[in-house]
């Protein structure tokens, strides 16, 4: 496929570029703070940058009229609403975590919450020292599936790609449900799966959970 990346020079941009190159896909467009590099109109656009680049992301999607895979965290409610508007005419895939393992964690967390009464619930997330947002987008997603007020503790340590743990504790025992990304390759693999899906998809707003469920039978 011919694809574009916003945030190409970043940690995720680099990982996505390496994986997509290994699979024979062609980078035909990129945009970073330095500016744009245009070779051809992409068939799919991928954004892993910062919320400050969002206006440009929208501008390029409208210009290229191609599907968007967006993994940038810390988006505002207004920005999510804008993506949903855009999804009326194009496939938009948005997630704060593109690893398969986090999809499993979300299901396990929902199940534990359903089965346990009178428990204290805590979420912790640990990421590399360069991460700009706090708490992580994934921790916010976990809180959303729990649908209740839950405390999130954030650690910024060295080069950790991304750890998330949910604790359920009562007076007799503690259950912990954890996920650890061993490298950013796991997120890039989810982005590739999403890009392949997007090329065949009809217009709509999709999450990585939708991709996980729609493609797991394959």
Ligand X SMILES: NC(=O)C1=CN([C@@H]2O[C@H](COP(=O)(O)OP(=O)(O)OC[C@H]3O[C@@H](n4cnc5c(N)ncnc54)[C@H](OP(=O)(O)O)[C@@H]3O)[C@@H](O)[C@H]2O)C=CC1
Ligand Y SMILES: O=C(O)C1=N[C@H](C(=O)O)C[C@H](O)C1
Residues 2 and 57: their CA atoms lie apart, in Å, by: 17
- Interface pattern 160-199 for ligand Y (x via CB under 6 A): --x-------------------------------------
The DSSP letter of residue 213 is H
97 binds ligand Y (CB under 6 A): yes
137 binds ligand Y (CB under 6 A): yes
Known catalytic membership, residue 25:
no
CB of 204 within 8 A of CB of 101? no
79 binds ligand X (CB under 6 A): no
Give the residue, chosen from 66, 72, 192, 212, that forms a contact with ligand X under the rule CB under 6 A.
Answer: 72
Chain mean position to CA 202: 20
Q: Give 6 or 121: the residue with its C-beta nearer to ligand X.
A: 6
Residue of 127, 143, 179, 193 marked active site: 127
Known catalytic membership, residue 131:
yes
Sequence-ordered list of residues with C-beta below 8 angstroms from that of 28, at least 6 positions apart, any chain: 2, 3, 4, 38, 39, 40, 41, 42
Residues 133 and 125: their CA atoms lie apart, in Å, by: 12
210 binds ligand X (CB under 6 A): no
Q: Residue 164 annotated as binding? A: no
Give the residue, chosen from 96, 168, 206, 208, that forms a contact with ligand Y under the rule CB under 6 A.
Answer: 96
Question: Would you state the structure tokens that stand for residue 127, as one six-digit string?
Answer: 């990421």
Q: Give 168 or 212: the residue with its C-beta nearer to ligand X.
A: 212
Q: Whose CA is closest to 71, among 87, 85, 52, 50?
A: 50
23 contact choice in ligand Y, ligand X, none (CB below 5 to 8 Å, kind-dependent)? none
| Annotated binding-site ranges for (S)-2,3,4,5-tetrahydrodipicolinate | 128, 137-138
């Amino acid at each position: 496929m011919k694809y574009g990346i916003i945030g190409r020079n970043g940690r995720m941009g680099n990982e996505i570029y390496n994986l997509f190159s290994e699979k024979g896909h062609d980078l035909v467009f990129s945009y970073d703070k330095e500016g744009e590099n245009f070779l051809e109109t992409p068939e799919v656009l991928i954004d892993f940058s910062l919320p400050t680049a969002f206006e440009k992301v929208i501008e390029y999607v409208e210009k290229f009229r191609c599907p968007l895979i967006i993994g940038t965290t810390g988006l505002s409610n207004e920005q999510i609403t804008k993506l949903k508007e855009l999804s009326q005419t194009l496939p938009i895939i948005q997630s704060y975590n593109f690893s398969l393992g986090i999809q499993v964690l979300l299901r396990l967390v929902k199940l534990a919450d359903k089965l346990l009464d009178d428990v204290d619930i805590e979420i912790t997330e640990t990421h590399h020292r360069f991460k700009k947002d706090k708490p992580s987008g994934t921790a916010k997603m976990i809180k959303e599936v729990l649908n209740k007020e839950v405390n999130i503790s954030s650690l910024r340590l060295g080069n950790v790609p991304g750890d998330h743990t949910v604790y359920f504790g009562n007076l007799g025992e503690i259950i912990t449900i954890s996920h650890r990304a061993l490298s950013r390759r796991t997120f890039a693999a989810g982005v590739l799966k999403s890009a392949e899906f997007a090329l065949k998809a009809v217009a709509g707003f999709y999450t990585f959970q939708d991709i996980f469920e729609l493609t797991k039978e394959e």
